Amino acid sequence: MMGSKDNLDTTVEQQTELLLKQLMHLKQYEKPETARMTRNKQNIMRMVRQANGSKRKSLGDLLEINMPWLFAEPKYGVALLFVAFVGLQYAGINARHESSTGTGIYAPSTSLVAVNSISTATNSISYPKFPDNVALFPQGNRSSDIKFVGRIEK
């Protein structure tokens, strides 16, 4: 009795195993519509183009794309940084040396003369002569008002 039940279970198990295999196999025939897939691909590429257009590459990304060897071989990257550091240090020393020779603004004397001559030439403005009948500072002791001494024509 028990033996026949076991046999039945084994048969059911084998059958379900076979059924599963067959159904799994047939599932590969579930195929999407070609038009839908084409549309899907187009959507993907549209989104990719949008992303590509709006994407601003960071300095890190640009370095990574244009100088991949720097990231692939870090030792060269470190060496380059060291050389750059030494170069900057050297440039800094030179700049300090030049600045320590003196302070102030220096200009050649010839150019200064030229500047002076130009300024005097431009600053000499000739004013018209003041008329004699107008006394700017009258001699009277009462007030400082300007006194008109001319004649008014009618």
Partner 1 sequence: MIKNLQSDPEELPEEIEERPDALLEEVPEEEGPPDAELVLKAQQGDVQAFDVLVDRYHGRIYGLTYNMCSNREDAEDLTQEVFVKAFSALPRFKGKSSFYTWLYRIAVNKTINYRKKRNRKRTLSLDSFDQEIKSDEAYHDLTSKGSPLRNISLSELQIKLNEALQSLSEKHRTVVVMHDMQGIPHEEIAKVVGASVGTVRSRLFYARRQMQSELAEFVK
Q: Which of 74, 52, 54 is nearest to 63 (CA)?
A: 74
Quick one: which of 6, 10, 49, 134 contacts partner 1 (CB under 8 A)? 49
Quick one: which of 30, 98, 145, 153 contacts partner 1 (CB under 8 A)? 30
Residue 89 identity (one-letter amino acid): Q
Q: Which of 121, 147, 144, 122 is nearest to 134 (CA)?
A: 147
Q: How far is the CB of 3 from partner 1 (least distance, A)?
A: 19
Stretch that binds partner 1, among 35-43, 80-88, 108-116, 139-147 (CB under 8 A): 35-43
How far apart, in whole angstroms, are the C-alpha atoms of residue 72 and residue 63? Answer: 12
How far apart, in whole angstroms, are the C-alpha atoms of residue 21 and residue 27? Answer: 10
Quick one: which of 12, 88, 95, 114 contacts partner 1 (CB under 8 A)? 12
When the beta carbons of 17 and 82 are compared against partner 1, the nearer one is 17
String of DSSP letters for 107-139:
--HHHHHHHHHHHHHHH-PPPPPPPTTEESS-S
When the beta carbons of 72 and 88 are compared against partner 1, the nearer one is 72
Tell me if 64 contacts partner 1 by CB under 8 A.
yes
Residue 61 identity (one-letter amino acid): D
Stretch that binds partner 1, among 37-45, 94-102, 106-114, 132-140 (CB under 8 A): 37-45
Residue found under tokens 């440039």: 91
Tell me if 67 contacts partner 1 by CB under 8 A.
no
> Which residues here bind partner 1, judged by CB under 8 A?
12-13, 15-17, 19-33, 36-37, 40-41, 43-45, 47-49, 51-52, 55, 57, 61, 64-65
